[in-house]
Structure 1
Amino acid sequence: MTASLTGTRIWLTGASSGIGAALADELADRGARVAISARRVDRLNEVSGGRMKSVPLDVTDHDAVLAAAEDVRDEFGDIDYAIFNAGAWTQTKIGHWDADAFRSQVEVNLLGTNSGIAAVLPRMLERKAGTIVIVASVAGYRGIPSAEAYGATKAALLNLAESMRADLAPTGVQVQWVSPGFVRTELTDANDFPMPFMIEADEAAAIIADNLGSGRPEVVFPLPMAVSMKLLRLVPQRLWTHIWSRQSSLR
């Protein structure tokens, strides 16, 4: 059953484009009080349209993340849902290993989420209420060529969310995670490989909003991609390597 979001206080990172921008609109349309964060101030203000609180933020700056959460609490009184959606994607060229690009994705995708959790969890524990939503990806289910950095960060987020959900179960603080397949965004527009079952960002946003507060641990979409990727977890490693080695950039 879809929970009412009217009057709920939501902080959303990575909101200047793609799924984040679409989700911000969807949440505001459903009556939520929404604070949005991203680095690109002009895009953030466009998304806000004067009906959301804009909190410009680079999630790789830990102290700035703590300050941003405090700013949102000062405005809203508290945070009911903290949705950590900020993400970076750079295709890995295995023959030209780019340690800086790898590090950048870790800093945004994983450590940025770590800072967000640090910013909201203590207060949620005090209240014995609140929901942390971590946006991961089906790319975290198994290792795929050219996604070494991105996939590693998303696998880490899946493990993090699952661990936190169990650890926080007695407290009243909820943890959900979102595992999108291919969604049409600026990130996927740059890809040069097939992207099956792709959906639009506004459809993804509606699915996420429908499931906030549902108690469902994982929100994964689109359905064909979800089923396919979960079944592929069962493929033996030797066969997996044989299949995917054909996609290696070194062939």
Structure 2
Amino acid sequence: MTRILSVLITGASSGLGAGLAKNYAAPEVHLVLTGRDAARLEATAVACRDKGATVATGLFDISEPEPFGAWLTAQDEATPLDLVIAAAGVSAGTGEGDMPEGVDLAAMQIRSNLLGTIHTVEPLLPRLIARKAGHVAVVASTAALRGLPYSPGYSASKAGIRAYGEAIRALLGPKGVMVSVVVPGFFDTPMTDRWKGPTPFMLSLDKMVAAIRKGLDARKARIVVPRLLALGQVAADLLPAAIGDRIVRGFRFHIEPGR
């Protein structure tokens, strides 16, 4: 197992990003953490420092490439990154009466989730390629496997992340850079609290973090947790469209406003 001494994690002010940051925190480990909420990001940083890690933090809207990209390269220049985890994400859904999300809400999710991932990864790739080393992890979702009718923008953004991760893994493997595509299902976070509907195979945040960490330590190309939920999504996608549509339409939920 490759020893990880320097880790970048986006979305570290809450949820999966914060959980992964605390999991990786240890003496001799340097963490580079980003988020949108200053108080919560600092709380994560304090918890990581208490475990012996050194921590650098940055408040950014990662849907905008600059100054985020320049900051990332400066961080890598100071302490070359072994692992880059693009975990930041937002969610939304359809309105009352299953009305469409509208351009603004759908575009916000595409910018934050898909473009935010690209803005995290692309500035660092030339440096990782030059070192012929490094590991990139992008966090998609089981919603990427078959679009959900009540969260079309989110599904599209996560499908884009999955495709992007699969593509750059094939591109970068011969150049010495590992890429993992993480496909999680439901787990206990503030984002999930806003989900009003069924949550099959729900995991605690700690169990999801442990499963992802195990997969990253093993340098797996794909980390799918839980597999049964993913298999259901894939099955719905492989069935004739009319049947698949009926199945996902019956999986009713509503996402309360918020980010």
For normalisation by structure 2, the TM-score amounts to 0.88
Alignment of 1:140-155 (within 5 A): 140-155=144-159
Using the alignment, how far apart are the partners of 1:138 and 1:243 within structure 2? Answer: 15
| Equivalent pair of 2:237/2:244 in contact (CA under 8 Å) | no
Equivalent residue number for residue 239 of structure 2: 235
Larger mean CA deviation between 25-34 and 86-95 belongs to 25-34
Of 109, 112, 122 in structure 2, the residue corresponding to residue 108 of structure 1 is 112
Of 41, 60, 82 in structure 1, the residue corresponding to residue 38 of structure 2 is 41
Considering only aligned residues, what root-mean-square deviation do their CA atoms show, in Å?
1.9
Equivalent residue number for residue 91 of structure 1: 93
The runs of 5 or more residues in structure 2 that have no matched partner are 254-259
Partner amino acid, structure 1, of 2:84: A
Equivalent residue number for residue 13 of structure 2: 16
Using the alignment, how far apart are the partners of 1:81 and 1:245 within structure 2? Answer: 38
Q: Secondary structure at the match of 2:137?
A: strand
Deviation at 1:98, TM superposition (A): 2.2
Deviation at 1:4, TM superposition (A): 5.4
Q: Secondary structure at the match of 1:233?
A: helix
Q: Deviations over 1:163-202 (max 9, x none)?
A: 1111112100111111110011111101111111111111
Of 193, 196, 199 in structure 2, the residue corresponding to residue 192 of structure 1 is 196
Using the alignment, how far apart are the partners of 2:190 and 2:143 within structure 1? Answer: 17
Using the alignment, how far apart are the partners of 2:62 and 2:115 within structure 1? Answer: 8
Equivalent residue number for residue 81 of structure 2: 79
Larger mean CA deviation between 234-243 and 161-170 belongs to 234-243
Using the alignment, how far apart are the partners of 1:244 and 1:211 within structure 2? Answer: 29
Using the alignment, how far apart are the partners of 2:220 and 2:101 within structure 1? Answer: 38
Of 197, 200, 209 in structure 2, the residue corresponding to residue 205 of structure 1 is 209
For normalisation by structure 1, the TM-score amounts to 0.90
Q: Secondary structure at the match of 1:87?
A: coil
Identity of aligned pairs, percent?
31
- Please say if 1:60 is aligned against 2:58: no
Partner amino acid, structure 2, of 1:62: P
Larger mean CA deviation between 184-193 and 59-68 belongs to 59-68
Q: 1:243 to 1:58 in 2, by over 3 A?
A: same
Q: Deviations over 1:76-104 (max 9, x none)?
A: 2x111111011010112342532111111
Of 103, 121, 125 in structure 2, the residue corresponding to residue 121 of structure 1 is 125
